[in-house]
Copies of this chain bind each other. A is one copy, B any other.
Amino acid sequence: MDHKDSVSIRVFSLNCWGVRYLSKHCSQRYAMIGDMLLQEEHDVVLLQEVWSEKDYLFLRKKLASSHVHAHYFKSGVIGSGLAIFSKHRIQDTLLYRYSLNGYPYMAHHGDWFGGKAVGLAILNIGTLTANFYLTHLHAEYCRERDAYLPHRVVQAWELQQFIRHTSAGADVVVLGGDLNMHPQDLGNRLLTSYTQLRDAYAETDNFDGCEDGLTLILENPFISQKVIAPFEKGIRIDYILFKGSCKADIQCVSMHTTKGSIPGQAFPYSDHEALTAEFTLAPSEAGGDFRSSNRVCALGDVARLVDILTEARTEVKVGVHCAERMRYTAARMAAMGLALLLLELAIAAVPWLTLGAEQAFPLNTFYLLVALCLAILLCTSLLYVFYTMELKSLQGTEDQMRLSVGGLQEKLRALPRAQPTEGVKPGNMFCAEE
């Protein structure tokens, strides 16, 4: 691509691990990140886990000359952690909060308080409109028994929906962030199949970084052996994804990641590796209708999408089942609390009604039990409300997935039978509808 109007841009993405007072060397690392960004002058910088607005403002000040435009996406209790710095004017922004994001009582995991979301910033680069998406999905704390998998699948579903529905007017689309999903994980397949976003690591011939593009590696001194142990060398969960349109071509010229240490520095920027991708953008010579590129699908692609959707629906259904069970438990606990309260009141009322009879119930125990019952009632009521909301979100996603499967099956029936199905078992294509 050597179009005369072509533009070259460099995009940077990093999960900053910016939990004040808890993350190691937090302020020193922010100073290092600021220095590096000021020097490197990437066109667009996508940061995650900038949990404190003070740290964002520190970077904003530091990068005032190199990255004139910036936006911090506020959400949840401690912020979404998402920040974008840009050399190009940010025309517009939009934030979409994921409907599910862990549980508030899992405070040690902390995801719920972060109000995880996807941020969109619309930039004009040359003559092109570029949609930059920035996100951070719910963490995976235990791969074998991942209680958050349904939540992450819902987040991946909402992410692909949000990108698809908001990018019709964009000439190029770039998504950067910590997806907390391995390359072949269900959510990742859902995201890339639906949006047709391409992985910068897989698309470039010029990669310099960790083996297999890993972004969480044992060589990083902030990573504990325990986290990486099940995965041999490390995992790849941070990505820069991209796509063009019929109006513009985009190609990933090169990509590199840090490798666990920074030459001349005592420690790396973060516990995650930093990603930098260089793209070439050029107005497309073909032209035509952008939307059509999303619509024309081969039979094999559609069938594969149906398979992925079926798998995702199964996972969401597991989530529905769990939420129903938890809600039922909360309701049962509330009922027990109420029954205990009524029983106590009844026992206490007996001597009061039969005047003169001695109060058999020690008053201290009585007060303690009443307080306990009220505490149980309050907590279980809050949990009941929370699980009901979780259930509604899961069921809503399942409904949307069913609708999508229906549409895809309609498409499958309409597509000419002659097209090759590329190894997809025909029997699987129609197994998703209930």
Contact = CB atoms under 8 A, between A and B. Distances in A.
A92 B396 contact: no
A79 B115 contact: no
Contact of A392 (B71, B75, B94, B96): B75
A389 B77 CA distance: 5
A155 to B, nearest CB: 14
Contacts of A94: 161-162, 165, 400
Contacts of A58: none
B407 A95 contact: no
Interface residues of A, number: 53
Given A115-B389, A374-B375, A399 B74 contact: yes
A385 interface: yes
A169 interface: yes
Contact of A378 (B71, B95, B378, B392): B378
A74 B165 contact: no
A135 B162 CA distance: 18
Interface in A236-284: none
A186 B277 CA distance: 43
Contacts of A148: none
A164 to B, nearest CB: 8
The dominant DSSP class at the A interface is: helix
B73 A396 contact: yes
A120 interface: yes
A96 to B, nearest CB: 7
A370 B371 CA distance: 9
Interface string A132-169: 00000000000000000000000000000110011011
A378 to B, nearest CB: 7
A79 B392 contact: yes
B74 A392 contact: yes
A10 interface: no
A284 to B, nearest CB: 14
A291 interface: yes
A160 B371 CA distance: 48
A158 to B, nearest CB: 9
Contacts of A79: 392
Interface string A100-121: 0000100000000101000010
Interface of A: 71-77, 79, 89-97, 99, 104, 113, 115, 120, 129, 161-162, 165-166, 168-169, 291, 363-364, 367-368, 370-371, 374-375, 378, 382, 385, 388-389, 392-393, 395-396, 399-400, 403-404, 407, 410
